[in-house]
Amino acid sequence: MSQHESLRERIEQHKPKNVLSKNDDKAVYAAAEMVMEYLEDRFEMSTKYENYHLEFAKAIKICDMVDFIKKKNVRTEFYAYDDSRAIVPDGGIIYLVDEADDIKYPLVIAEVKHQGTNKEREKEGKEKQATGNAIERLGKNLTAIKTYMHYENITPFVCFGHGCDFADDSLTVLSKVWCLNEFYDINKIYVNKKDNDRDHGGFAPVSMFFREDQWTAEEMFNIMKEIAEYSFRYWLF
């Protein structure tokens, strides 16, 4: 196979993933917009919380995460070699911004991961491929987010995974998700830390929703709003 043929095959292989990714981005951003509208109405922010506002961002700078941790005055050693570096969750982050103290409190951080094209390849008469690495990419961001929230009692993170690699019988891939979630269950909401005895170590399970079918904006909204509302109450009440 020539270099051009090999490159063309790789491009064709990723076309369905790219289309799905764009659709995922649109859906999760629509869900985030609905969450912000819900919170503004639910808590009557325009009248009751005049010194606060909601903000959406596509990325979280590492230096901002470090500064957030430093405010607890517990950890003293940090290494962040490049102030421009950031993590970019697929679904972005919704902040509650305290205008008086200039602090951004995370309400919900969202990821959307698609993994698995073998069903499509089978229909086209192509050979199966090894399972992808969406979970490995997820692990990097999740490590940073758990560090970011280490001194808080919540971890307001959710991941929506879809694709044939996440079907109910795909235990090889799903076992990686369970490991990332500290052996807590998936397809349920976790915001609070669990078994949180600091002297003996606490755990920070997060909301991991994985299935074969793609997630709709409405479905993501219904889950994200619960996490965001819980986080809102945590920061202000």
pLDDT for 11 beyond 50? no
CA angle at 168 for the pair 220 and 15, rounded to the nearest 5°: 65
Domain annotation for the chain: domains and CATH numbers: 20-236 (3.40.580.10)
In which region does residue 183 sit, left (phi positive, over 0), alpha (psi from -120 to 50) or beta (all else)?
left
- Give the global pTM: 0.85
In this predicted structure, what is the pLDDT of residue 200?
A: 62
- Distance between CA 165 and CA 111 in Å, rounded? 17
Token digits for 14?
A: 């990723």
Interacting residues of 7 by C-beta distance below 8 A, sequence separation 6+: none
Residue-wise pLDDT tens digits, 15-32? 444 566 678 889 999 999
